[in-house]
Amino acid sequence: MNTLQKSILPVLLAGIWINISETVRWIFLIKPYWLEKYESLGVVFPDSFQNNLTWMVWGFLFASVIYILARKYSLIQTTLLSWIMVFVMMWMVVWNVGVLPVKMLWFNAPLSILETGIAAYICRYFIIKSSVKNQ
């Protein structure tokens, strides 16, 4: 298996999954909570092309972190470690600066774990497939 299939392809596929998941979750579930929270603070929510592009890059960086962890850890370990490092830490920071709409966590937390788990599965699948072919 060449380098593309070993590392770039799983990161690309996991990144696409993460970005689709984030976009769907944002549009249908999370956006109203954020807009309401920002409006209550008297602040306009940043929603520009540059902002959205930054989040897309974030998704591919997240996929890269998942791939790196998946090379060393099991599926469950990779999922939990990456979820805590990315989502829980991000929510703590946003909560600390007073802009986290806490009521959205009831559905956002489980969906973000699912998103992370599927991305970890994608990466682990290619890692295992690569190691089987090399034997």
Rg value, the chain, Cα: 16
| Statement: residue 5 has pLDDT above 80 | no
CA–CA separation, 122 vs 102, rounded Å?
A: 30
Give the rounded distance of the alpha carbon of 43 from its chain centre. 26
Per-residue confidence band for 113, with pLDDT thresholds at 50, 70 and 90: very high
Count of domains observed in the chain: 1
What number of CA atoms fall less than 13 Å from residue 55's CA on the CB side?
14
Q: Which domain holds residue 81?
A: 3-133
CB 71 within 8 A of CB 132: no
Per-residue confidence band for 4, with pLDDT thresholds at 50, 70 and 90: low
Per-residue confidence band for 135, with pLDDT thresholds at 50, 70 and 90: low
The predicted model gives 24-47 an average pLDDT of 87
Whole-structure pTM value: 0.90
